[in-house]
């Protein structure tokens, strides 16, 4: 391996057989290239799907009331379920230990919103101070609602970044500005940004203010919770499902809803949904691996084929070398050394080229469900090694056979 | 230098056995230039292959420079070939992608001679065969005679005990043949032992001794008065 003379002999051979070397290298490099691109896109799809779930907290659980569809305890179907503050507080009393963040929400309707003379057509939602974490909203300026806002029914508002861009583009910052909601002035104290524009078209005010000032009473439109993040995904899913079922059962009992009437009080768990997608991406990944391994096998077969031809073509040369005193093992060693060298160089060339391509083009790919295709470097390196070893093994047998041909027969080979 | 006693060799041809060498007894002293003659099928090439350890005899003894040659495996044979023997073939057998110099240097590579010394020695032998100016040329750029001279230089480069030439002039016209024989005679003049297999009478008479082979046995073994090839060049 570190025999300088051998290296020189090999470089000589490579330099004088450029086409043969190029073709061997090309088949190896393209095999690696295809594999890395495939794996990259497999990862890209997984990233893309994971990204779709990042908009809200991954562990969030949402409660949406609906309309009953079954008769239960003498009550007619078709009843509209209305959540109230007591439902929220009782849910916390029962399951508060299990949740990390929680917030009720009320949609404030039939109000006019003005900033100066300009009418604003954005939805207003009354939420609790934890809601920021449930929505995964990032504060770009100022702060979110806090506990004091809630207990003091403060007249403060948080607006989305899109509203800032649309309405407050002429001033330096909307912080400290007042918006007029049906005659009540709210001071803007924070600006949040989200991944999607439509999620930034909201104005948040404290839920207590929303209920008292805008005639909400103790009504709430939905409730949301997040569960603590767990390392083990499967355990987290189990926990989320059990929390969801317990919560649903509790609310069904309170509102006298039939247990099988799941439409009346819908509880939706992001984790449970995510699990479906994760198993989907798992399958996709498996598929890409399968295709990738087939590609590697094709690459190995290609390398072996070329090795076979190379050895066949060199039979006479091998005979000459043996007549001049080359030992069989030195012949095998020389052929393998050369082929491993060529395979390794071209394998890494294919690897660098494909990873470079993923690195440069990947971040610019804007297709739904494909995000930043990339490949694990260790995986890529191991595939190159596999290909090199496979090429060596595949090259060994024809080389060994060629070296064991009788010298006179090899010399007669035309 | 070479001692052969009762050498037998047969080949299996399907169900038949072809007895090629039927008890050859033969010895060569150091510095001899021996022609082995015979019609095709007489066993002369087989004999040379056995002498060159490219083939193994069925029975009989073979001693080369005092070393008994037996129980050969490929590695051992390669070792002996490299140390004791130089080959010249009818079809030159040069490696086509290597220059004349590199071809001559190749046996030295297998003797583990360092690259620089290899090239110096190869160049010295190329000079001896009068091809120093052609050192960087590929075999395809040289004439047949030149190629055979490169092959002779290669055979000499490892400084062998015995030079084995299998029809060295078989692929050459008569003028070129005499040039090659002139070279072989000059090498022999320096004291090297050379065996030449040929079926051409004039080539055989340029050696010092002729061994006639017929149907696997030696029918005649005589010393001859050497015809100098330089007369014809």
Can you give the C-alpha Rg of chain A in angstroms?
Answer: 34
State the pLDDT at residue A52.
67
Q: What share of chain A in percent tops pLDDT 90?
A: 1
Count of CB pairs separated by less than 8 Å, A with B: 69
Chain B residues whose CB is inside 8 A of the A406 CB are 54-55
Tokens 């995964």 -> residue: A136
Buried residues in B109-131 as b, exposed as e (16+ CB within 10 A): bbeebeeeebbebbbebbebbeb
State the pLDDT at residue B170.
85
State the pLDDT at residue B206.
92
In this structure, are residues A258 and A68 in contact, taking their beta carbons and an 8 Å threshold? yes
State the pLDDT at residue A260.
84
Interface contact A325-B89, CB threshold 8 A:
no
CA A121 – CA A50 distance, rounded (Å): 32
Asked whether the predicted pLDDT for residue A57 surpasses 70, the reply is no
Going by C-alpha positions, the residue among B153, B158, B148 that lies closest to residue B125 is: B153
In this structure, are residues A262 and A247 in contact, taking their beta carbons and an 8 Å threshold? no
In this structure, are residues A132 and A154 in contact, taking their beta carbons and an 8 Å threshold? no
- Which chain B residue has its CA at the smallest distance from A7's CA? B115
Going by C-alpha positions, the residue among A210, A183, A45 that lies closest to residue A126 is: A210
State the pLDDT at residue A117.
82
In this structure, are residues B33 and B194 in contact, taking their beta carbons and an 8 Å threshold? yes
In this structure, are residues B20 and B214 in contact, taking their beta carbons and an 8 Å threshold? no
- Which chain A residue has its CA at the smallest distance from B105's CA? A324
Task: Quote the mean pLDDT of chain A.
Answer: 82
Sketch the domain layout of chain A as residue ranges.
Answer: 4-52+277-412, 60-269
Asked whether the predicted pLDDT for residue A284 surpasses 80, the reply is no
Over residues A291-332, the pLDDT tens digits come to 777 877 777 777 777 777 777 888 888 888 888 888 888 888
State the pLDDT at residue B164.
92
Chain B residues whose CB is inside 8 A of the A5 CB are 109, 112, 114-115
In this structure, are residues A117 and A179 in contact, taking their beta carbons and an 8 Å threshold? no
A124 Cβ contact list (under 8 Å, min separation 6)? A107, A108, A111, A113, A181, A202, A203, A204, A205, A210
β-strands B209-214, B33-37: how paired? parallel
Range A363-371 average pLDDT: 72
In this structure, are residues A356 and A25 in contact, taking their beta carbons and an 8 Å threshold? no
Give the Cα-Cα-Cα angle A276, A279, A280 (nearest 5 degrees). 85
Over residues A1-10, the pLDDT tens digits come to 457 777 887 8
Asked whether the predicted pLDDT for residue A55 surpasses 60, the reply is no
Other Cβ atoms less than 10 A from the Cβ of A143: the count is 16
Interface contact B110-A316, CB threshold 8 A:
no
State the pLDDT at residue A309.
79
A388 Cβ contact list (under 8 Å, min separation 6)? A340, A343, A344, A347
Predicted complex ipTM? 0.89
CA A143 – CA A130 distance, rounded (Å): 12
Over residues A81-94, the pLDDT tens digits come to 888 888 888 888 88
State the pLDDT at residue B140.
92
Asked whether the predicted pLDDT for residue A278 surpasses 90, the reply is no
Over residues A222-267, the pLDDT tens digits come to 898 888 877 777 777 888 888 888 888 888 888 888 888 888 888 8
State the pLDDT at residue A294.
81
Encode chain B (233 residues) as per-residue pLDDT tens digits: 899 999 999 988 888 888 888 989 989 999 999 999 988 888 888 898 889 888 888 889 999 888 888 887 888 888 888 888 999 988 889 998 889 999 999 999 888 888 889 999 999 999 988 899 999 999 999 998 899 989 999 999 988 889 999 888 888 888 889 988 998 998 899 889 999 999 888 899 999 999 999 988 999 999 988 888 888 87
CA A80 – CA A68 distance, rounded (Å): 7
Of the candidate CATH numbers 3.40.640.10, 3.40.50.300, 1.25.40.10, 3.30.230.70, the domain formed by B2-96+145-231 belongs to: 3.40.50.300
Give the Cα-Cα-Cα angle A262, A266, A269 (nearest 5 degrees). 115
Interface contact A408-B49, CB threshold 8 A:
yes
Other Cβ atoms less than 10 A from the Cβ of A1: the count is 7
Question: With bands split at pLDDT 50, 70 and 90, how would you rate the model's confidence at A56?
Answer: low
Q: Check if B214 contacts A (Cβ < 8 Å).
A: no
Q: What share of chain A in percent tops pLDDT 70?
A: 97
CA A102 – CA A207 distance, rounded (Å): 13
Chain B residues whose CB is inside 8 A of the A6 CB are none
Question: With bands split at pLDDT 50, 70 and 90, how would you rate the model's confidence at A212?
Answer: confident
- Nearest by CB to B74, which of A16, A316, A328? A328
Asked whether the predicted pLDDT for residue A17 surpasses 90, the reply is no
State the pLDDT at residue B153.
92
* Assessment of whether the complete model's pTM goes beyond 0.80: no
Going by C-alpha positions, the residue among A139, A134, A136 that lies closest to residue A159 is: A139
Stated as kind and residue range, the H or E segment containing B139 is none
Range A371-389 average pLDDT: 79
Q: Check if B125 contacts A (Cβ < 8 Å).
A: no
Q: CB-side exposure of B174: number of CA atoms within 13 Å?
A: 6
Going by C-alpha positions, the residue among B92, B32, B34 that lies closest to residue B218 is: B34
Over residues B50-93, the pLDDT tens digits come to 898 888 888 899 998 888 888 878 888 888 888 889 999 888 89
- Residue B140's Cα: distance from chain center in Å? 22
């Amino acid at each position: 391996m570190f025999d300088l003379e051998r290296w020189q002999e090999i470089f000589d051979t490579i330099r004088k057989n450029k086409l043969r070397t190029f073709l061997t290298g090309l088949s190896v490099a393209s095999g690696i290239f295809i594999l890395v691109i495939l794996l990259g896109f497999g990862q890209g799809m997984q990233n893309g799907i994971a990204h779709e779930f990042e908009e809200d907290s991954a562990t969030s659980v949402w409660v949406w009331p609906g309309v009953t569809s079954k008769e239960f305890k003498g009550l007619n179907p078709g009843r509209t379920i209305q959540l109230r503050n007591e439902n929220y507080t009782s849910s916390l009393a029962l399951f508060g230990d299990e949740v990390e963040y929680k917030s009720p929400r009320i949609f404030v309707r039939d109000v006019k919103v003005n900033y100066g003379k300009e009418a604003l057509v954005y939805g207003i939602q009354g939420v609790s101070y934890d809601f920021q974490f449930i929505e995964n909203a990032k504060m770009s300026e100022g702060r979110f609602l806090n506990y004091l806002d809630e207990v003091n029914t403060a007249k403060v508002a948080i607006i989305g970044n899109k509203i800032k861009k649309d309405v407050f583009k002429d001033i330096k910052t909307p912080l400290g500005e007042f918006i007029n909601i049906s005659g009540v002035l709210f001071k803007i104290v924070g600006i949040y940004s989200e991944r999607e524009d439509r999620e930034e078209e909201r104005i948040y005010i404290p839920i207590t203010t929303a209920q008292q000032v805008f005639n909400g009473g103790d009504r709430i439109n939905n409730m949301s919770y997040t569960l603590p993040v767990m390392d083990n995904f499967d355990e987290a899913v189990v926990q989320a499902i059990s929390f969801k079922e317990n919560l649903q059962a509790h609310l069904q009992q309170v509102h006298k809803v039939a247990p099988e009437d799941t439409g009346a009080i819908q509880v939706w768990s992001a984790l449970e949904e995510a699990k479906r997608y994760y198993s989907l991406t798992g399958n996709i990944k498996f598929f890409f691996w399968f295709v990738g391994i087939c590609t590697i096998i094709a690459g190995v077969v290609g390398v072996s084929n070329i090795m076979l031809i190379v050895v066949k073509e060199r039979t006479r040369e091998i005979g000459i070398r043996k007549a001049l005193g080359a030992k069989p093992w030195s012949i095998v060693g020389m052929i393998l050394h050369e082929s491993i060298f060529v395979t390794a160089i071209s394998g890494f060339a294919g690897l660098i080229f494909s990873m470079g391509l993923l690195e440069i083009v990947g971040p610019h790919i804007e297709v739904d469900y494909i995000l930043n295709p990339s490949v694990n470097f260790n995986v890529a390196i191991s595939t190159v090694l596999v290909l090199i070893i496979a090429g060596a093994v595949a090259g060994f047998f024809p080389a060994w056979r060629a070296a064991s041909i009788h010298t006179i027969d090899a010399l007669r080979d035309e | 230098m070479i001692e052969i006693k009762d050498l037998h060799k047969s080949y299996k041809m399907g169900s038949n056995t072809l007895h090629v060498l039927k008890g050859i007894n033969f010895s060569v002293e150091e510095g001899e230039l021996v022609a082995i003659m015979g019609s095709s099928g007489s066993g002369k090439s087989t004999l040379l292959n056995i002498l060159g350890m490219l083939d193994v005899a069925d029975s009989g003894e073979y001693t080369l420079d005092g070393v008994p040659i037996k129980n050969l495996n490929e590695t051992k044979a390669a070792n002996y070939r490299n140390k004791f023997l130089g080959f010249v073939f009818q079809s030159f057998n040069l490696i086509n992608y290597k220059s004349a110099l590199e071809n001559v240097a190749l046996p030295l590579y297998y003797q583990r001679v360092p690259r620089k010394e290899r090239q110096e020695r190869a160049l010295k032998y190329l000079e001896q065969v009068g091809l120093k100016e052609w050192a960087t040329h590929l075999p395809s750029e040289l004439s047949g005679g030149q190629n055979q001279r490169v092959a002779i230089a290669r055979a000499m480069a490892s400084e062998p005990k015995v030079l084995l030439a299998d029809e060295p002039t078989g692929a050459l016209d008569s003028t070129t043949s005499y040039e090659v024989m002139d070279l072989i005679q000059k090498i022999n003049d320096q004291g090297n032992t050379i065996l030449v297999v040929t079926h051409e009478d004039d080539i055989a008479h340029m050696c010092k001794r002729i061994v006639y082979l017929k149907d696997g046995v030696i029918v005649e073994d005589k010393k001859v008065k050497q015809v100098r090839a330089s007369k014809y060049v």
